[in-house]
Structure 1
Amino acid sequence: MQARIRTAMIVGMAMTVLAAVGVSVASAPPAHAAQVVTDIAYAPAQPAGSKGHLLDLYLPSTGITPRPLLIWHTGSAWTSDDGKAGTDAIAAIFNPLGFAVAGVSVRNSAQAIFPAQVHDIKAAIRWLRANAATYQIDPNRFAIMGDSSGGWLTEMATLSGGVAALEGTVGTTGVSSAVQVGLAFYSPTDFLQMNAQNLPTGGLDHDSPASPESLLVGCPIQTCPAKVAQANPMTYVDANDPPLMFLHGQADFLVPHGQSVLLYNRIKAQCGDATFVSVPAADHMMSQIMDPAQYGNQTVYTTTDCSETVGTGTLNPTWANFATFLRGGLKLGTSCEVAYATGAWNGAFNGTVTIRNTGTTPVDDWTVTWAWSGNQQITNAWNATVTQTGAQVTARDAGHNSYIGPGSSQSFGFSATATGTNPVPAQFKLNDIVCTKVPA
């Protein structure tokens, strides 16, 4: 009975988290979603009638195509097979930024024990990549995000790319299950150390045969350390892993803060790429992790290429900062400058656009967009493929110039016709972010 009460408390906490970010179980399409496709079966139901092999897709009405994809899974201590519930709240944040959003469900621990949950998320990723063209998704730009057990799933998917034992044979096979960046909230890692890391005031008995962790792996965790190690994201850390950000509250009663400390130290030791945001006084709730009252107080640990920085208040836990981190990991660019120059003659002109990457992460594959305010019409272009629909212009890299390192730039040119005034376009965007205009 006690174990059931504890499990119910975790599920209740998960529902509280959903409410804190505006999630409703009865989902409504976000305003910027042009298309919402629900209950897509990425694999046959197992067991029959269950929901663990379903996903929902929220496709934005704005932005360039193909779109980057953000995969979301809501945590439940592995007790729910409906982890996609509430994805509408995440889509409401990221659809307007040009991201497609997929809410993915996996089997719960009563339906199948580990590694089934990892097999499922990888099957969903493979299905999404195999069907990327159908939904105008960029197969090379997959991000994943989740909280609690969903954060654990995020870390497993991010860190175990290429591990054959965790691929499984669920659903679509023969396609990569890799993601390019991950973001996790208050995730468990080393189950065997959770009791020792509990707060002095107490916490869950993670060693219990009825604990969420024991039910996940199918044995009391202290009796099967080899199986538990396979379920530990730290087991799969190496220097080639994608960038990972994870956040944890120092007052977390359900999943000890030390779990993320362990993961950060492992990634640092392996010269990996990680950002760990430690939030004082925050419990196991998104609303507390993102509480503006804590801005400036959080400790931020960053390790890249065996170099570490530690600061206080250097990265506030906001959706804008999370989006910037994901964009950086996807090599979409985080800030930019554009210089625009023209040379005119009767009824026509040439234009040159120079894009400078002012962010700290590279841009790989770029699209620049703008809108004319007059009757300008593109007739020719070089160093980019330029198309025009009405007043809207889209310029895509020419392949040889697709990479723009931090502080570097690329240029392209075009010819166009125009009559009357020919002002500089009001705004330029690089991969859906607004660039600062600078003199040519």
Structure 2
Amino acid sequence: MQARITKAMIVGMAMTMLAAVGVSAVFAPPAHAAQVITDISYAPAQPAGSRGHMLDLYLPSTGITPRPLLIWHSGSAWSSDDGKTGADAIAAVFNPLGFAVAGVSVRSSAQAIFPAQVHDIKAAIRWLRANAATYQIDPNRIAIMGDSSGGWLTEMATLSGGVAALEGTIGTTGVSSAVQVGLAFYSPTDFLQMNAQNLPTGGLDHNSPASPESLLVGCPIQTCPATVAQANPMTYVDSNDPPLMFLHGQADFLVPHGQSVLLYNKIKAQCGDATFISVPGADHMMPQVMDPAHYGTQTVRTTTDCTETVGTGTLNPTWANFATFLRGGLKMGTSCEVTYARGSGSGTFNGSVTMRNTGTTPIDGWTVTWTWPGNQQITSAWSATVTQSGTQVTARDLGYNSYIGPGSSQSFGFTASFTGTNGIPAQFKLNDIACTTVPA
């Protein structure tokens, strides 16, 4: 593509491309959703008949409850009010891992200008948190993810917690709109610098009155810098922000790769928590950013507590690695060991379970599950609330012992009855992670 292409042609192409490069074509529909609820209104439609205040919920058939929640919004250059499209593909990945998934739509820039879109996503988060018990969602474990303008929305929601001007009064109020972790793909972060960062071969004229960014804020961006600053995720970075991972292709024709460089450097300067995966040769598409052909070549920059690490090929952009990052940000743990000990006895025995956090992030709130191989029946327990249904056992922390730091452990015990043999459970799971069982 040549730089001489007209502004109108570039803008039109961008709108079409951004609306078409979500993940829905990459994955099959979810096979593990026990319940799919579509077109839930989290606020009244504005304007009447529009879709921007709707969400879809995908609730898994597996995993512990309450469930962690992952919110998804598809990018469209802010041109669509149907951003919940594509959430079925995300649910296909994350429902089997025990996550509930919500596809959330917000108003398009043609229906309402900024900050309406941020007001909308925060209203959706408040609605989901207020209704968490109804859908067995954990209100303290909410993640958000999106691509392009959906990545922008992800970063705005992740970085602007507590900013009163961006809350709005739409829908449910009086509930926190905070999220605990964010994951964004190729997002704009500083609109005024986008043209200067375009590829040498050209790119979108972001300064045009008809550019997606100008249409979002309601003015040609170079003429209203104060308004634009309020729409830049960069503006809201501070050291208290939740962890954020973002990915960007170095050959991105529509949103310059330098936008993510700027954001990473700002987070690093503020001693924040960020992981930036820079993928050579990738354009503005998730299939390219996640292409296995690029594995081992991406630059990975991580900054935490003013300490930076930089490596090449150290973290491939895979769904498994994204899930691990999200679990870490939600303080669910990423790896664990369990030591199971039991006393001897005829008909009854005492048992103990010790969980060790072998990951690098803390666990705050735990549930341990296992299946008995025989007819063991728990009759009492201590240091945990333990319930049993058939051969399935669930043990939950008591609050005072909910925290397990990296390298640390927590334990609980129980008394159980049995007849016949008293076999050892084949596997223990901690917050839906399969733990390594170590000898007592």
The 1-side partners of 2:125 and 2:105 are apart by 12
Say whether the 8 Å CA contact 1:20–1:286 is kept in structure 2. Answer: no
CA drift at 1:186: 0.2
C-alpha distance in structure 1 between counterparts of 2:227 and 2:160, whole Å = 16
Find runs of 4+ consecutive structure 1 residues off by over 6 angstroms.
none
SS in 1 for 2:394: strand
How far has the Cα of 1:159 moved from its partner? 0.1
Report the equivalent of 2:37. 37
Distance 1:302 1:247 in 2: 12
2:265 aligned partner:
265
Alignment of 1:1-400 (within 5 A): 3-18=7-22, 21-22=25-26, 30-400=30-400
Q: Distance in 2 between matches of 1:252 and 1:23?
A: 22
Aligned equivalents of 1:3 and 1:349: distance in 2? 76
Amino acid at match of 1:284: H
Structure 1 residues 74, 11: closer, same or farther in 2, change over 3 A?
A: same
Q: Which runs of 5+ in 2 are unaligned?
A: none
Amino acid at match of 2:14: I
CA displacement 1:13-36 (0-9 Å, x = unmatched)? 235423575368xxx5x2110111
Q: Name the CA distance, whole Å, in 2 between partners of 1:14 and 1:408.
A: 45
TM-score calculated relative to the size of structure 1: 0.97
Cα distance in 1, alignment partners of residues 145 and 229 from structure 2: 22
The one-letter code sitting in structure 2 at the alignment partner of 1:18 is G
The one-letter code of the counterpart of 2:278 is: S
Letter in 2 for 1:10: A
Identity percentage over the alignment? Answer: 83
2: CA distance between counterparts of 1:167 and 1:16? 29
CA distance in 2, matches of 1:20, 1:4: 27
Aligned-CA RMSD value = 1.2
Q: Write out per-residue CA displacement over residues 233-274 of structure 1, whole angstroms, 9 at most, x where no aligned residue.
A: 111110000000000000000000000000000000000000
Which amino acid in structure 2 is aligned with residue 40 of structure 1?
I
Judge conservation of contact 1:20–1:287 (CA < 8 Å) in 2: no
1:9 partner letter = M
The CA deviation at 1:373 is 1.2
Please state how far the C-alpha of 1:5 moved relative to its aligned partner.
3.5
Change (3 A) 1:118 1:374: same
1:199-222 deviations in whole A, cap 9, x for unaligned?
A: 000000000000000000000000
Q: What is the CA deviation profile of residues 374-408 of structure 1, one whole-angstrom value per residue up to 9, with x for unaligned ones?
A: 10101000000000001100000111110000000
Structure 2-normalised TM-score? 0.97
Superposition deviation, residue 11 in structure 1: 3.5
Counterpart code for 1:77: A
What SS does the corresponding residue of 2:21 show, helix, strand or coil? helix
Amino acid at match of 2:16: G
Determine helix, strand or coil for the equivalent of 2:326.
helix
SS of 1:416's equivalent in the other structure is strand
Counterpart secondary structure, 2:17 = helix
Q: Is the CA contact (8 Å cut-off) linking 2:75 and 2:150 kept in structure 1? A: yes
Conserved 8 A contact 2:23-2:89: no
Contact 2:122 2:157 in 1 (8 A): yes
Letter of the structure 1 residue corresponding to residue 100 of structure 2: A
Q: Is the 8 A contact 1:16 1:285 kept in 2?
A: no
Q: Is the 8 A contact 2:14 2:204 kept in 1?
A: no
Is the contact made by 1:273 and 1:303 (CA closer than 8 Å) also made in structure 2? yes
